[in-house]
């Protein structure tokens, strides 16, 4: 579809000189770091009014492409993840009813974010363990510009460039680039402009998430969750709990966190959903109740639900968690990633907001950017980029719907839940792409 095939001249990249990235979370930062490394100048426009995004303090399962990205682009020599050694399945009483040896890498959103900020625009933090980002600078790096408090409202094509309009402190401003990358998440403004017909739909359940320092857990919970990836399935409930890095990304034993991810049904229109999704300021939020914004009444309701519906170790995590937050589970996917003849590209959650059961959202963002670099360095054309990113998005999106609906709305055997989970762990290069995923 697109003609943007960028060629090399004298071994250097000939193509876009300046790329505008909308969204300064993980997908936007993956893009910024990779493009900086290959000598392309970037501007990131992030609507959040603060210099740094708020840490939600939760875990990320670091899939193959996330780790591949860090191996290729991370200049900070420190651990990015910790390993879980086994998968466990619990029954309602907390007994282990199934276990398999399976290594998996777990990290935290904040560690990934701070490492990317250090690599992109030299942000210093405790996550760097005393390393100085300025010492990694290379003469060949592209320039960087992270602008926060900038809400993108639209774009226009002008003489082969993309002019991106945004508001900052009530004033209208604009910046032009050779390419626009829409990395603005599952409620993407860029996607809404391109595909107003696409909606983000609530799936009838939420995920309640939080962490507990490993040293505050009971011996039973330590045995169930430390360096384990532990599941429970019950009627309308799925819980998974695992170990993630602690404060400043600490990976040492005793300093880590136990992270729970608890899916539980709250049908649309139900009073309990209204109570849960109305924050301390009385505002009904559609998608997220961030840490610290749940009302005491809603939190009591959640804790009672945990005591009644979860195995004791998982109910304990809910009771002991200090900063829980809630996300409504939604489905959204754009028809394609490449637009405006290869000048406007959607990546990450802006392309497809997966259900978190897929544990693939961060990997998708990393994969999309690894593919984008293939295009910008002339090893792939844009049509191939579109094929790969869209097929992956369609496939994983459907896998997430399949396992999510089976888990929340059907009574399946433990064997089937184990098979669903193992299917979700298929490495990307082993996935099969049936005709309905394919891009012609």
Ligand X SMILES: Cc1cc2nc3c(=O)[nH]c(=O)nc-3n(C[C@H](O)[C@H](O)[C@H](O)COP(=O)(O)OP(=O)(O)OC[C@H]3O[C@@H](n4cnc5c(N)ncnc54)[C@H](O)[C@@H]3O)c2cc1C
For ligand X, the binding residues (CB under 6 A) are 22-28, 45-48, 53-54, 56, 58, 60, 109, 151-152, 183-186, 189, 348-350, 361-362, 365
Between 58 and 76, CB nearer to ligand X? 58
Beta-bridge partners for 289? 326
Between 189 and 221, CB nearer to ligand X? 189
Distance of CA 103 to the CA centre of its chain: 21
Between 24 and 133, CB nearer to ligand X? 24
Greatest alpha-carbon span in the chain: 67
DSSP 199: -
Minimum distance from residue 183 beta carbon to ligand X (Å): 5
Instruction: Using DSSP, state whether 382 is helix, strand or coil.
Output: helix
Beta-bridge partners for 346? 182
In this structure, are residues 15 and 175 in contact, taking their beta carbons and an 8 Å threshold? no
Minimum distance from residue 150 beta carbon to ligand X (Å): 6
- 96-108 and 179-182 strand pairing: unpaired
Note the helical H segments in 203-359: 219-225, 271-276, 296-309, 312-320, 348-351
Between 6 and 109, CB nearer to ligand X? 109
Q: What is the CA radius of gyration of the chain?
A: 22
Between 94 and 327, CB nearer to ligand X? 327
Using CA atoms of 16, 18, 22, 24 in order, give the dihedral in degrees to the nearest 10. 120
In this structure, are residues 348 and 185 in contact, taking their beta carbons and an 8 Å threshold? yes
Minimum distance from residue 420 beta carbon to ligand X (Å): 19
Minimum distance from residue 375 beta carbon to ligand X (Å): 18
Between 108 and 407, CB nearer to ligand X? 108
Minimum distance from residue 23 beta carbon to ligand X (Å): 3
Between 273 and 365, CB nearer to ligand X? 365
Minimum distance from residue 325 beta carbon to ligand X (Å): 8
Minimum distance from residue 109 beta carbon to ligand X (Å): 3
In this structure, are residues 133 and 76 in contact, taking their beta carbons and an 8 Å threshold? yes
What is the distance between the alpha carbons of residues 209 and 245, in angstroms, rounded to a whole number?
15
CB atoms within 10 A of CB 398: 17
Minimum distance from residue 290 beta carbon to ligand X (Å): 8
Closest CA to 116 of 205, 244, 197, 29: 29
Between 18 and 355, CB nearer to ligand X? 355
Nearest 5 degrees, angle CA 295-CA 298-CA 299?
85
Closest CA to 248 of 362, 69, 115: 115
Minimum distance from residue 292 beta carbon to ligand X (Å): 13
């Amino acid at each position: 579809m697109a003609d943007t095939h960028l060629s090399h001249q004298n071994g250097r990249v000939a193509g876009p000189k300046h790329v505008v990235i909308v969204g300064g979370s993980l997908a936007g930062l993956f893009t910024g770091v990779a493009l900086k490394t290959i000598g392309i100048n970037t501007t990131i426009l992030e609507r959040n009014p603060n210099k740094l995004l708020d840490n939600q303090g939760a875990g990320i399962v670091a899939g193959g492409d996330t780790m591949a990205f860090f191996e290729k682009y991370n200049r900070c020599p420190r651990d990015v993840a910790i390993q879980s050694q086994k998968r466990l399945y619990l029954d309602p009483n907390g007994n282990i009813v199934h276990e398999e040896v399976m290594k998996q890498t777990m990290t935290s959103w904040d560690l990934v974010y701070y490492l990317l900020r250090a690599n992109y625009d030299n942000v210093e933090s405790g996550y760097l363990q005393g390393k100085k980002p300025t010492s990694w600078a290379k003469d060949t790096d592209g320039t960087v510009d992270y602008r926060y408090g900038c809400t993108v409202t639209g774009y226009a094509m002008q003489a082969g460039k993309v002019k991106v309009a945004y508001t900052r402190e009530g004033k209208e401003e604009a910046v032009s680039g050779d390419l626009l990358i829409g990395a603005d998440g599952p409620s993407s403004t860029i996607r809404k402009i391109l595909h107003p017909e696409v909606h983000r739909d609530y799936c009838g359940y939420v995920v309640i998430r939080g962490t507990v320092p490993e040293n505050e857990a009971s011996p039973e919970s330590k045995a169930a969750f430390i360096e384990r990836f532990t599941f429970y399935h019950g009627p309308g409930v799925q819980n998974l709990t695992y170990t993630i890095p602690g404060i400043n990304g600490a990976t040492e034993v005793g300093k880590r966190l136990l992270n729970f991810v608890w899916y539980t049904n709250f049908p649309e229109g139900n009073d309990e959903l209204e109570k849960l999704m109305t924050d301390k300021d009385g505002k009904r939020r559609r998608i997220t109740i961030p840490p610290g914004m749940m009302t005491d009444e809603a939190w009591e309701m959640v804790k009672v639900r945990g005591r009644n519906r979860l195995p004791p170790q998982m109910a304990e995590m809910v009771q002991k968690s200090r900063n829980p937050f809630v996300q409504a589970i939604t489905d959204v996917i754009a028809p394609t990633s490449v637009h405006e003849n290869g000048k406007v590209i959607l990546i990450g959650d802006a392309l497809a907001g997966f259900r978190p059961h897929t544990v693939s959202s961060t990997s998708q963002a990393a994969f999309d950017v690894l593919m984008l670099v293939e295009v910008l360095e002339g090893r792939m054309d844009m049509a191939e980029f579109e094929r790969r990113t869209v097929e992956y998005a369609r496939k994983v999106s459907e896998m997430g719907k399949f396992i999510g609906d089976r888990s929340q709305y059907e009574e399946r055997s433990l064997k089937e839940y184990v098979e669903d989970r193992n299917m979700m762990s298929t490495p990307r290069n082993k996935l099969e792409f049936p005709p309905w995923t394919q891009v012609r």
